[in-house]
Structure 1
Amino acid sequence: MFTLLFRKMRNTKWMVLCLLIGFVMASAMMSTIPIYMNASLQRMLVKDLESFQTEYDIYPGAYNTSYGLKMDISGSEQQKAVENYNNKVEAKFKELGLPEKLDKKYISDEYLYVRSLAVSDGNSQARFTLGGMTDISDHISIKQGRMFTAGKRSDGVYECVATEKAMKSTELAINTVYEIADVFDDNNSIKIEIVGVFDVKDENDAYWAEGLDSQYTAVVFTDYDTMLGDCVDTGVVNITKAVHNYAVDYASMNMTDLASTNEMIAKQKTYFGENSIGFSMPASDILKDYESRSSQLQLVLWLLQIPVILMIIFYLFMVSQLNVEQERNEIAVFKSRGASRLQIMGIYALESLVLGVLTVIIGPFAGLGLCKVLGASNGFLEFVNRRSLPVHMTIEAVVYAAIAVAVFFVTTMIPIVPATKTTIVEHKQSKAKKKKHALWEKVCLDFILVGGSVGWLYYYNKTQEKLVAEGVTDTTATVNPIMFVASTAFILGLGLFLIRIYPYIIRLLARIGRRVWSPAQYVSLTNIGRSSTGRERFLMLFLVLTVSLGVFFANTARALNRNAEESVAYGVGCDAVLTEQWYSSKIESAQQTTPQSASQTAQSGTKQTSEESDEEDTETTIQYVEPVFERFEKLAGVENVTKVFRKDDVTISSNKMNVPRQQTKSDDEEKTRDDFLDQSVDTSSGKSSTSNVQLMTIVPSDFSKVCKFEDRLLPVQLNNYLNALAEYTPGVILSSSFKSYGLELGDTVECKWGGNEPFEVTVLAFVDYWPGLSPYKEAKNGGYMDFAVMNYDYVNVQTSMEPYEVWFKLKDGASVQEFYDSIDKAGIKPLTLESASQQTIEKKNDPMLQGMNGALTLGFIIIMVMCIIGFLIYWILSIKSRTLQFGILRAMGMKFREIIMMIVYEQLLVSGVAIFAAIFIGGVTSDLFVPLFQSIFDASQSVPPFAVIPERSDYLKLYAVIGVMLLTAFVVLGRLIKKIKISQALKLGED
């Protein structure tokens, strides 16, 4: 049997190779799940911890403990207590199993003084702390003098080192011997000498995570072992405090045991508390929060693999089916010559087993290599020079690969079972029989899949709308795994519908043009219309699935990345926004200061009324000095710049505004955004008003050159609104939420804030979105704020000048770093500085987005490779099985060129139509199902709304892959046809 097996594999080595490639890709894909998932989760944790360190200047991997010793115990008891304490801490840290970066012990005596500097009343002018720290010499640099020597010198002096700050604090000098004693017992004394002044070697060293200057201001350091031994034995030095700290190498933490680690940390807090040991671990809260975030990322990465896994199963089933179809005659001969079904199945099972063993060995390493490449993904099929993912081989990856091999072994054996039932006679008879409809056609599986997917989509969208309206933003609760299955089922259903109707369309075309078709065209149409073997239908379905999923993955990745980029661009509003401190002065006066025009560089102010004092009101005017605006135009890389004034808590009132009605909706009724708006009534004036308004004033002509905005967010282009505001300066553009107040176009409203006099503006338009203004910005009371946009010059005349923002548009290709440097050189000291490009980079570095980009890119690559291989397998089998047909056609007078054209026509009618149909189906699927990915984010406050907008570059990448596939196929098939000796194809007994 083994001899027969290896001969068979040798004779069909190209088919075996294709099966092996499929097996390897399948197992590699499966093994990437644990490898890539663990690496992505670890990257997410590391980024969270790095952000924590940057924000709070605390090393997050610190494992800090401290222990206070009693002062009335002997030296030997102190040494024993410190040793017991260190042993407990060491045992507990090892229990966690976290990677250790460093281990530091510290002891100190805080009650020492220098006798020679004591004054007559006995109080020391030179109180200091003597401390000992392990491995201190490896983490400091000596600035003056030298490092201390361990032990006592021959003259009885103990050597020490100190920082310059500590020496100033203690009034001690270098190279001077001091006699020190205990504050509470000065009968005995020892001598010390500071022989060196040091500083930290590396400020970012985890060794000094707690801070040198803040924690060791008055500490003089000596050797740890010397202090704990000789110094304590003298009876002068008493250990009052012991510290044992670890630094965890969080970049090497194992994500798989994180849940148990959090549980053990909680238990250790209780244990240390019961033993009077102080304990702190800055990363503990991050690790707790990480559990929920990691489960979310893990779920998303798993779900993204569902279509790919289904595609791999379909690929292997198709290849196996084609292989069995090719060898059905051989199987029937075996059956007729007395071979049992078990023996025949055993041959193919052994073949799959051999391939499976090779796959288990190769697959996990192939998956590891893929993960290393995908770690640099910055978008869909976009790679940057980024630090690689911390990927490593795990037993879990090998197990996944083995499971994949087991599943695909069963998949490849399924077509073998019915083939072993047929003898050679039955096989020949079956070729003459009319093919029956397949089971899926009889049960209308295509209609079931499409109808079920659309029905589920409608139900899911309705459910999501309710969740968003109720403010539910827990993504782990709203992400539904069925949405990934439904999208694949929708594609499969449309693909099945295509291959159901396509033979009838081809037959109709053949009948309509039978008088005009050339022989090559007619034979091609006839072959496809009959589709006797079903191979053409199988190939078309395969191409529809692969190409449609490729389009779906491309549009999914593009939508996710576009959403990230647009949210940043909308929030910032332009390339960069800067604010700086303005000089101001307060003047108390009962007379109003006349504000100056915005076009003048002068002093202006905002009036505020102080509290009543001695029955007399006074007005406090804050006068600001506007900086020279022209400085900003000269900064490096700046193309345009404009002034934008923003103010929150502005009051808008009008006689036409409706009195807000009380909300009486029950809990089960759908809520709208208006339910969250803050409205009030000014009963004194009879006007209705709202004070939760964010105001933006702009210079329309300059604003249009600077702002970034998607035109699809407004019914007409943004410049139309800017033109209206420029032509009618006392106008205002309000958020659409003002419509619920009863306001209409042309109404006059009153605007006021602070000590300014109210002024009137006319409503020019209502909009849902505006650059830099979020319709979901929360007010102090928890509601949503409205917004208003006005003309800067008009408002500046009506009110006192206040500090404004400076909005920049940078030149194409301008360096953000050069822009920052030019700000420093110009002497500008920003209070705030936002850069859209920097925020976009941070957004794209988000582990969730990176993980999804990598998973989608991986899925696309796998699917496209399977598409190429499956495409080649079909056409190679098709050419080999039709050698006799080619010989007959040649014998009937058809030229060799016409045979080539016949194959080209078949390529176009089968592969070409399937690919074009797949692109259309992929686009429809993207429009329907990609918006469901917004549930991964906070969909209730997504600004701008999540949108699926295909990118031409993504389709060009897809077309490039398809073009390479077709070109490769033509080259291979051309070489194969040239090798076929068509003139010798007609032989006696050839079938």
Structure 2
Amino acid sequence: MAIFVMIIRKMVKNKWLEFSLLLGLIISVGLVSSMPIYTNAILQRLLIKDLEQLQDAKQQFPGIFWNSVYITGELTSEQAKQAVQDADQYMGNEAPQRFQLPIKEYVIERATDRWNMVPVDAGKIDSSIKRTAEVAALSGMEDHVRLIDGKLPSSEPVDGVIEAVVVDQGLTNLKMVVGQEYTIQDEEVKTPIKFKIVGVIDRKDYNDVYWYNSLSTYSSSMIVSYDWFEKEITRNELLKLRSSTWYLAVDYSQMKLESIERFIGTYQYTESFLANHFPNYTLKAPALPTLNGYFVKEEKLRLMLWSLNVPVMIMLAYYLFMVSNLIIDRQKTEIAVLRSRGASRLQIVLGYVVEGILLGGIALACGPFFGLIVTKTLGASNGFLEFVQRAALDVKLNRTAFQYGVLAVLCSLVMTLLPVLFATRATIVGHKQQMARQTNLSFWHKYFIDVILLAISLYGLYTFRTKMRDMQSLGLDVTDLQMDPMLFLIPALFILGASFLLLRIYPWLVRLIYQGGRRWWPPSLYSTLLQVGRSITQYQTIMVFLSVTLATGLFSASAARTINKNADEKIMYGNGADITMTVKWEDDAPPPSMGNEGGGEGDPTVLLEPKKKVQFSEPPFFPFTQLSGVEHAAKVFTKPNAIFTFGKERGTATLMGIDTDDFGNTAWLREGLLDHHFYDYLNVLASSPSAVIISRTLADQYNVKVGDHLYAGWDGVQSTMFNVFAIVDYWPSWNPNPLFSDKSAVSTSSAGSAANSKNKKIKAPMLIVGHLSYIQNNMALEPYDVWMTLKPNAKSQELYDALEEKKIPVTKLNDAKQELIRSKNDPFLLAINGVMTLGFIISIVISFFGFLLYWVLSLSGRVLQFGILRAMGISFRQLIMMLIGEQLLTSGAAVVIGMLTGNLTSRFFVPMFQLSMQTSSQVPPFQVTFDPRDQMQLYIIVSIMLTVGLFILGTMLSRVKIHQAVKLGED
């Protein structure tokens, strides 16, 4: 108990240091515990969005769980009856309990074999027509249909006749008449059974999830009352029950991540249940492939979050080490005295373990809730340091978050105990000797840790560049956004190594400055240069900390900005403009062959007959320019496999026809991609009707130069001569990257790629851009696409409404703005933006607190020195100048090192993010982006830090009393 009281008193004595350590622990625990919270929240959002997109794409409710059995002769009558009864019990009670989700609809559908239906009154109905129909029933059908004619069937026979309804298609298919009676004519049916068609039904609501099948499925069915069917067929076997279907519509909007495993488990259990009861069964769950993929997505996202947080983790670990080291430095004398009085190293370490457990317990209690706040912040990020009013993430604490928190506390405890282990090795004599020798090399420099870290990071850089070069040269692609943890670990190691290496060199620079002006330096600067030059090890902790945090912040900013900008530019370049659409043109093409009629595909006379050239009728273009929200519109004709000849050589290329003025106002192209401005090329093209711009791939492969002429055309069109006026590397919507002619799987490793791709022919796409009017006049008039640029504040919905209002027959539409929005909502980009923003903010906050903490403690430990200087006649103004000089030589130098290291790291390592994006489709080329606002924010924050620090230090200096300082020295 006495030891515990001593620990508490020691913590109270160093309350500000302990509070700073606790702050770092809470942030560390919060950051780590936010990972599972954020992973679950973002996957939850993604789950619902994916299921909604599945519904839009397939026009089918994703919550469908459909099970059907076909009863054959393998089961006896009693076995079949019992099996159906067991299935009813399971589907109606047990399955919904297993899902633990709201059930929107539960439908049982039964059907018999098809029977020959003969009209009772042959005089009124043509009895020569063969009518085969099944008897079917659906539970709860009455609430989901509307009557087109007649009435719904009664649950009991009327005058011995069973009432039935048919769908509209069934009325036509079976050639039946409402109000007429039919009887089954079959040897198996001994007793005549009469049916009367009493009505025709249709769906009440076509969005009703009750209907799994379309009504055309029942075109050969006579639908009777479900109650009658159950009583007379299912139980009493009036007719042979042939099939039974159980359909559940699960409310997928209420699905959580934990529902995925239950859904898959229920599917597997149901499959096993049906296999044990029925020889023939079918299960359908449209959402199952999507749900099965979530375990992979969860693993990728978790790996990515760890990867993204590596630099911040390293920075926080170093912060904890620095604060713990400051605490231990103030207590080294006490530790040395305890060692000299007989205390073992284990006893001293255990005392600090207890202290760490107390602080860790508080951090574990507060950290996950801080992580909850962090997750909500991540969910609102729309880009780096950009926040929007997006729908809040469904965040909640879970057991995994606390498990991660415990792991963070244990790791943090290790970091805080390292200085203790180093300190307990020194005796009281060794401690005094160490205090007198401040010029020893630090641990990092003594064992060349900086050189080792740099060597590892540079090797990683070389490996990444080699892999990227192979992927680009071979035209390889990746199908999903992947994140290699080494992409973040290697840059973090480079930042650490470069910072320590520059600090190895820095003392020599300070000494050089000192030696160069030692005859002219004023006393204040002379003293500062001596202090910094001789005690550089003392300042290394704060200098490394500042440089690493600032470099990490710059790298995070640059990486996030680069990934976001390249993703946006890829969408804009690939689309070519804000909106691209294809409109249906009228033509005189014959209708497609309908199968085995005369002149079919197998008819040799058709093969010999020349194809008729289709004539198209161009719709008016002016209405497109007048659509709501449209600023500019352009005609863009594209022929993907046009044939060109140059001399005796022949090849295929994409032929594009444009109107130069409209195209220039509409198309999007990043500046700097071409040798000259985009408009200059359009002006050159406009100078001659036969002028064309060709791609660099075509010019290099066929040795075509500006001034040459070539011929181009396509099947059924006569080739026309064009004159080459310019050569370009890129053009809106055109991808110049090579593609494999063989689409077989290729290993993505550099060695494997080279080995597997030696025999593959790489196709270099080629492009010819000419005048649309020249192509139409000399070759053919064929449909073109319409490209549009929207007004700055225009919404896509305005355009959609205008298209619908004017009844423009759009067959295909690509909206770059909507693709940009979908890109922003991608969970991986959300993770990048959120975590990078968080890392940047944490870097700044930790840097600020670390800076103030270090200098306040440093100044409080040098009161005697400043008091003696004041007693020697140094004015207060000169002391302030000394402090300013010391700050510039330490903190200022650390800021410069951090900026330099951050910029170098960004330029070296940010391009490696191409490995995490689709390489062959990344056009325009990946470009590292630096936003001046990020650096300006850092400059402002650093200036505030230095100003606040100097103000606090100046205030503390102004309160130093000479007689107290000297008295303190005598004591």
TM-score by length of 1: 0.83
How many residue pairs were aligned? Answer: 929
Match of residue 675 from structure 1? none
Determine which of 762, 767, 771 is the counterpart of 2:728. 767
Distance of aligned partners of 1:637 and 1:131 in 2 relative to their CA distance in 1, 3 Å threshold? same
Equivalent in 327, 331, 334 of residue 323 of structure 1: 327
**Which residue type is aligned with residue 565 of structure 1?**
D
Q: 1:80 is matched with which residue?
A: 82
Report the counterpart of residue 598 of structure 2 in structure 1.
Answer: none
What SS is found at the alignment partner of 1:415? helix
Measured on the aligned residues, the alpha-carbon RMSD in Å equals 4.4
After TM superposition, the structure 1 stretch with the greater mean CA deviation from structure 2, 158-167 or 339-348, is 158-167
- For 2:147 and 2:13, locate their aligned partners in 1 and report how far apart those are by CA, in whole Å: 78
Is 1:851 aligned to 2:823, yes or no?
A: no
Mapped pair 1:932 → 2:915: no
Deviation at 1:41, TM superposition (A): 4.0
The answer to whether 1:697 aligns with 2:643 is: no
Tell me the distance in 2 between the aligned counterparts of 1:269 and 1:126. 32
Q: What letter matches 1:529 in structure 2? A: G
Q: State the distance in 1 between where 2:297 and 2:965 align.
A: 65
1:441/1:500 contact within 8 Å kept: yes
Which region of structure 1 is more displaced relative to structure 2, 940-949 or 854-863? 854-863
1:560 maps to: 563
1:909 aligns with 2:889: yes
Distance 1:725-1:508 versus aligned 2 partners, 3 A rule: same
Which has the larger displacement, 56-65 or 399-408?
56-65
In structure 1, the residue matched to 2:649 is 688
Query: What CA deviation, in whole Å up to 9, does each residue of 1:446-473 have, x standing for no partner?
Result: 2332233223322332233234444554
How do 1:348-359 and structure 2 match up within 5 A? Answer: 348-359=352-363
Q: Deviations over 1:175-216 (max 9, x none)?
A: x9x99976754847699998998855682x6544x2453555
Corresponding residue for 2:509?
A: 505
Question: What is residue 822 of structure 2 aligned with on the other side?
Answer: 842
Match of 1:629 in 2: 621
Deviates more, 1:259-268 or 1:723-732: 259-268
1:83-102 matches, cutoff 5 A: 83-86=85-88, 101=103
Is the 8 Å Cα contact of residues 585 and 619 (structure 2) preserved in structure 1? yes
Alignment of 1:423-822 (within 5 A): 423-433=427-437, 435-474=439-478, 480-514=484-518, 517-531=521-535, 534-585=537-588, 620-655=612-647, 687-690=648-651, 692-738=652-698, 739-776=700-737, 783-822=763-802
Query: What is the match of residue 407 of structure 1?
Result: 411
Provide the rounded CA distance (Å) in 1 between the counterparts of 2:218 and 2:505.
Answer: 83
**Letter in structure 2 aligned against 1:702:** D
For the residues of structure 1 that align with 2:100 and 2:195, how far apart are their CA atoms? 42
The secondary structure found in structure 1 opposite 2:582 is: strand
Q: Which consecutive unaligned segments of at least 5 residues does structure 2 have?
A: 591-602, 744-762
2-side partners of 1:930 and 1:869: how far apart? Answer: 28
Alpha-carbon shift at residue 83 of structure 1 (Å): 1.7
Residues 1:366 and 1:625: Cα distance change in structure 2 (over 3 Å): same
Letter of the structure 2 residue corresponding to residue 570 of structure 1: Y
Structure 1: 5+ residue stretches without partners: 588-610, 656-686
Secondary structure of the 1:386 match is coil
Alignment CA distance shift 1:981-1:61 (3 Å): farther
Instruction: Look up the match of 1:106.
Output: 108
CA distance in 2, matches of 1:194, 1:25: 73
Q: 1:616-665 CA deviation, whole Å, 9 max, x = no partner? A: 9878443333322222222222222222211121111021xxxxxxxxxx
| Alpha-carbon shift at residue 552 of structure 1 (Å) | 0.9
Alignment of 1:73-472 (within 5 A): 79-86=81-88, 101=103, 104-110=106-112, 119=122, 121=127, 129-133=135-139, 140=144, 185=189, 187=191, 199=203, 203=207, 206-208=209-211, 210-211=212-213, 213-215=215-217, 227-229=229-231, 232=234, 236=238, 239-248=241-250, 272=274, 275-290=279-294, 292-433=296-437, 435-472=439-476
Does the 8 Å contact 1:15/1:323 carry over to 2?
A: yes
The 1:339–1:448 alpha-carbon spacing in structure 2 relative to 1, beyond 3 Å, is closer
Assess if the C-alpha contact under 8 Å between 1:543 and 1:867 holds in 2: yes
Structure 1 window deviating more from structure 2 (265-274 vs 826-835): it is 265-274
* Amino acid paired to 2:677: Q
- The DSSP-based 3-state class of the residue aligned with 2:967 is coil
Please give the per-residue CA displacement for 1:152-189, whole angstroms capped at 9, x wherever unaligned: 79999999999898899999999x9x999767548476
How far residue 382 of structure 1 moved from its aligned partner, in angstroms, is 2.1
> Which stretch shows the higher mean deviation, 233-242 or 382-391?
233-242
Partner-residue secondary structure (3-state), 1:365: helix
Distance of 2:561 and 2:931 partners within structure 1: 7
* Aligned-partner Cα distance in 2 for 1:422–1:337: 13
Q: In structure 2, what is the equivalent of residue 19 of structure 1?
A: 21
**Mean Cα displacement is larger for which, 228-237 or 575-584?**
228-237
Determine what percentage of the aligned residue pairs are the same residue: 33
In the TM superposition, residue 488 of structure 1 has moved relative to its aligned partner by 1.2
| Range with bigger deviation, 157-166 or 766-775 | 157-166
Structure-2 separation of matches of 1:281 and 1:448: 55
- CA distance in structure 1 between the aligned counterparts of 2:93 and 2:473, rounded to whole angstroms: 51
State the SS of the aligned residue for 1:645.
Answer: strand
Task: Name the CA shift for 1:31/1:82 in 2 (closer, same or farther; >3 Å).
Answer: same
CA offset at residue 6 of structure 1?
A: 1.4
Distance 1:192 1:928 in 2: 82
CA distance change for structure 1 residues 619 and 364 in 2, over 3 Å: closer, same or farther? closer
Residues 756 and 192 (structure 1), Cα distance of their counterparts in 2 relative to 1, 3 Å cut: closer
- How far is the alpha carbon of 1:948 from its aligned partner? 0.9
Give the corresponding residue for 2:746.
Answer: none
Question: Which secondary structure does the structure 2 equivalent of 1:833 belong to?
Answer: strand
Are the equivalent residues in 2 in contact too, given 1:53–1:60 (CA < 8 A)? yes
Q: For the residues of structure 2 that align with 1:333 and 1:615, how far apart are their CA atoms?
A: 104
Taking a change above 3 Å as real, the CA distance of residues 349 and 981 of structure 1, as seen in their structure-2 partners, is farther
Counterpart contact for 2:307–2:483, Cα < 8 Å:
no
